[in-house]
Amino acid sequence: MSGAKHTVVIGGGVIGGFTAWYLAQAGHRVTLIEQSQFGRQCSHGNCGYVSPSHVIPLARPGQVLKGLKGMLTTQTALRINPAKLTMLAPWLLKFALRCNAKAMMEAGRACHPLLQSSAALYREVFEQQNMLVDWKTDGLLFVFRDQHEFDAYAESDAWLRKHFDLPAEPFAGSALTELEPALKPGLAGAWLYRCDAHLRPGKLMSELKRIITAAGVRVLEQTGMKSFAGNGGQATAVLTTGETIAADNFVVAVGAWAPLLQQSLGIKLPIQPGKGYSITMARPRLCPRYPMILEECHVAITPFEEGYRVGSTMEFSGYDTTLNRARLNYLRSGAAEYLHEPTAEPVEEEWYGWRPMTADGIPYIDRSPRYSNVWIAAGHSMLGISMGTGTGKLVAELITGQKPHVDPALYRIKR
């Protein structure tokens, strides 16, 4: 490997981890640096969905009104902190301009190929590397209490079938309780996406660290990036809180922290941290068979082989580091409206993480405007796990000159 090209990957989440993996598979010498611990940021406490069905972005018709309501109460899935409104205003304006059917379709067409490729690549790497991640391919339920909302979802189902070949199967009445006994009686119904899967994020990141280390990737934890050293339009080294590391190529995969690297990247990416919460606990006695999204409250439920997670919500409050108890209570109360046993004891972890939210719902996978050998892979919004393998493979293809397996123009910075 002494004569191999050297790439430094900055960021130890799922995007950085799989980028390192595919670069190592392509013969590169890889160093990965992470400012805290590998896999302990946003990739850790999410609900673990690998969801090809999730092509509809947060920016969709009707979301502007929901956002306005979210400034008035904490009892809503989408929450905008009024005290941060001035700071958030430029991003929120971009977001509002994308809340229409045309922009929603554009985002769907951009995200679809990356979601599809990632789902297939997960199956491949899990089998080849014997990764034990609680991988389940039972599907994902979208559950409705309200009859009108359940019936109205038929339009979304038709749209997803027509444009993306993503069919869902409806269940109601006794068929629903037979499918999922953990749900309370009297719910309107649910739509099942059999194409979706789920895993335990913590196990994924632990196993990912194992395989990249075995592949020769040098992982440096507690090592933050300071800046790049450059010569003309090329970066020559990255200056870290530890050593200075020279390399041929660099990948910035730092999620919600990407806008803070404006000087190094030559651009302030329009990414906002969208704060999500989760509670991980023991499995209830009547534990759901399926992972599910409780649609009216947008609370997500994930059963693991050992354990159970209630998560979701979207809070725009900047880089806020407080664990908002009201948001955790919202998760509990939302789950209680749908499930016989919504929670259990003991609680293993109460968590928050910053999703890297782009205004249009499309990630940025492109060269840095400042340095031609610095690549950006950030802004995966709520789909970091779902797009992890596909993004890593695409970045590796772009760096090594291989034919990209999806069209990289969909993810360019200037779009």
pLDDT band at 221 (very low <50, low <70, confident <90, very high): very high
Question: Can you give the pTM of this predicted structure?
Answer: 0.96
Distance CA 191, CA 180 (A): 12
The amino acid at residue 48 is G
Tokens of 18: 């799989």
Q: Could you tell me if residue 172 is inside a domain?
A: yes
- Mind listing the pLDDT tens digit for each residue in 262-291? 999 999 999 999 999 999 999 999 999 999
- Expressed in angstroms, the distance from the first to the final Cα of the chain is 37
Domain that holds residue 318: 71-98+135-196+271-358
Cβ-count burial 385-395 (b if 16+ within 10 Å, e if not): bbbbbbbbbbb
Q: Which residues sit opposite 75 in a β-bridge?
A: none
Q: Could you tell me if residue 202 is inside a domain?
A: no
Q: CB of 256 within 8 A of CB of 381?
A: no
Q: Could you tell me if residue 156 is inside a domain?
A: yes
Q: Could you tell me if residue 334 is inside a domain?
A: yes
Hey, how many other C-beta atoms are within 10 angstroms of the C-beta on 337? 14
SS3 assignment, position 350 = strand
- Mind listing the pLDDT tens digit for each residue in 3-45? 789 999 999 999 999 999 999 999 999 999 999 999 999 999 9
* pLDDT surpassing 80 at residue 136: yes
Q: Could you tell me if residue 119 is inside a domain?
A: no
- Mind listing the pLDDT tens digit for each residue in 190-199? 999 999 999 9
What's the sign of the alpha-carbon dihedral 279, 282, 286, 290? Answer: positive
Q: 């789950």: which residue's tokens?
A: 335
Q: Could you tell me if residue 308 is inside a domain?
A: yes
CATH code: domain of residue 331: 3.30.9.10
Q: Could you tell me if residue 20 is inside a domain?
A: no
Domain count, the chain: 1
Torsion of CA 365, 18, 397, 376, to 10 degrees: 20
* pLDDT surpassing 60 at residue 1: no
Q: CB of 248 within 8 A of CB of 238?
A: no
Q: Could you tell me if residue 168 is inside a domain?
A: yes
